[in-house]
Amino acid sequence: MPLADRESIEEIISGLRISSIGVINSLRGRNATLAYSGGIDSSIAGNLIANVVSGVSLLALGKEDSPDFRAVSESKIQYPKNAKIVIEKISKSDIETTANEISKIVNVSNLAHFEDCTAFWLIARRAKEIQGVDTLVSANGPDELFCGYDRFRRIADADGLDSAEKEIKVALKSASSLGREVKKVVSEFGLDFVEPFFQAPFVDFSLHIPINYKIILGNDLLRKRIWRYFGRTLQISEEIVTRPKKAMQYGMGLHRVILGMLKQGTLDPGV
């Protein structure tokens, strides 16, 4: 990120603050639980939501040996005062049972989306058990808008930043399709599903941020540069700000289990 251009950075950070708070304010009056991974996206969301939703739950699920479960359960960071952290282990059999159930419900085009739907089923099932909760919130969006996925790094280094910027539109279209299926999954538990960072005001502002503030050339393993910098302005722990991106299915420990089911022929995800 071109940190020397301080004036531009401050302008972008101001815009991110205004647009993100604007979409988070749509949660006022809801009894919300946030799907929490301990990463930069859900930490920023949790920080902002805690200011508008009293007693919001940050719900972290994962296999005991999974990166997300370890990151949250072993972390010494301070969570927002108005939020409570809920950490729960899921087992291999939980994942297997859920994956087979999901295969009857969703219509997805790839395994990653199937695994995401499986993850949200597990999260929604646990969220429903939290007293009074009516809304499950996801911090999805910044990976698409700020080049979080590793493919952005590969595209940028192979074909340049212009090609990486075009990939943002592709990623948003794919995310829209996934969001419809996840909403279907979450509704099975009588919960609303909200993705504030996919709401138009935030998306529109983020798309106008120059891509060189999001990703740099030369094997950028961190990415989401300006978004991480925004996290620092919210006093998000440096441990979280610099934590590398890990997709949900890997972070929660789902992928290995589902891959094993596919190899054993005990699952047909329809993709």
Instruction: Report yes or no on 50 lying in a domain.
Output: yes
Which two three-digit tokens encode residue 31?
């009894």
Instruction: Report yes or no on 236 lying in a domain.
Output: yes
What is the C-alpha to C-alpha distance for residues 211 and 224, in angstroms, rounded to an integer?
10
The answer to whether residue 1 scores a pLDDT higher than 80 is no
What residues contact 205, with CB distance under 8 A and at least 6 apart? 15, 16, 18, 19
Which two three-digit tokens encode residue 245?
């991106």
What is the C-alpha to C-alpha distance for residues 225 and 156, in angstroms, rounded to an integer?
14
Specify the CATH number for the domain of residue 50: 3.40.50.620
Residue 50 in contact with residue 234, Cβ under 8 Å?
no
Instruction: Report yes or no on 263 lying in a domain.
Output: no
The total number of structural domains in the chain stands at 1
SS3 61: strand
Instruction: Report yes or no on 12 lying in a domain.
Output: yes
Question: Which pLDDT belongs to residue 171?
Answer: 98
Greatest mean pLDDT range, 1-15, 79-93, 174-188: 174-188
Instruction: Report yes or no on 271 lying in a domain.
Output: no
Tens-digit pLDDT profile for residues 64-116 = 999 989 889 887 777 777 889 999 999 999 999 999 999 999 999 999 999 99
Instruction: Report yes or no on 71 lying in a domain.
Output: yes
What is the C-alpha to C-alpha distance for residues 245 and 224, in angstroms, rounded to an integer?
9
Instruction: Report yes or no on 156 lying in a domain.
Output: yes
Instruction: Report yes or no on 265 lying in a domain.
Output: no
Chain center to CA of 109: 20
Which amino acid type is present at position 247? A
Q: Which domain holds residue 76?
A: 6-255
Q: For the ranges 69-78, 157-166, 201-210, 256-265, which has the lowest average pLDDT?
A: 69-78
